[in-house]
């Protein structure tokens, strides 16, 4: 997290546009968030999810964003596409425990959710919870994350 708060990239395809629009407002109002980057799509735009996920992953790779939130129909395609980039750890999570462990155990920087899978209020809550977690580099999970990164180098 930067000194000013989380720098969060947010993107969706057209299947996640409604949730993205609402959650962007939540992020703008959250005091833990210092910067929000909207990667699209925009109204009446049709961008394939791999392009949005790749753009978010590049911001993570280049340290221009601390976290990314990606929304599509299921959250699965976004996670697959984002994980193609080295040193990007993206997960699909639709429950509180998975969101917690994605950060605390796996140091995942990218959360992917599915607009067609969970309700809007659940999605909003999960994003609020996600912002409250920070990976502890001294935790027992740190060695596992290092092993993942070493294997990708």
pLDDT category at 45 given cuts 50, 70, 90 is confident
- pLDDT tens digits along 91-140: 999 999 999 999 999 999 999 999 999 999 999 999 999 999 999 999 99
**Active-site residue set:** 72
Exposure letters 107-145 (e unless 16+ CB within 10 A, then b): bbbbbbbbbeebeeeebbebbebbbeeebeeeeebeeeb
Overall residue count recorded for the chain in this entry = 153
Contacts of 143 by beta carbon, 8 Å cutoff, 6+ apart: none
pTM of the model: 0.95
């Amino acid at each position: 997290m930067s000194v000013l708060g989380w720098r969060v990239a947010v993107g969706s395809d057209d299947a996640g546009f409604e949730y993205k629009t609402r959650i962007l407002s939540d992020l703008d109002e959250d005091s833990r968030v210092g910067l929000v980057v909207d990667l699209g799509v925009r109204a009446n735009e049709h961008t394939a999810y791999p392009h949005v996920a790749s753009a978010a992953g590049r911001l993570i790779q280049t340290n221009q964003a601390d976290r990314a939130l990606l929304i599509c129909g299921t959250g699965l395609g976004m996670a697959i596409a984002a994980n193609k980039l080295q040193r990007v750890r993206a997960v699909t999570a639709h429950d509180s425990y998975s969101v917690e462990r994605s950060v605390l155990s796996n140091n995942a920087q990218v959360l992917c959710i599915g607009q067609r899978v969970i309700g809007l209020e659940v999605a909003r809550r999960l994003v609020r919870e996600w912002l409250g977690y920070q990976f502890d580099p001294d935790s027992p999970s740190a060695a596992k994350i290092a092993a993942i990164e070493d294997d990708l180098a």
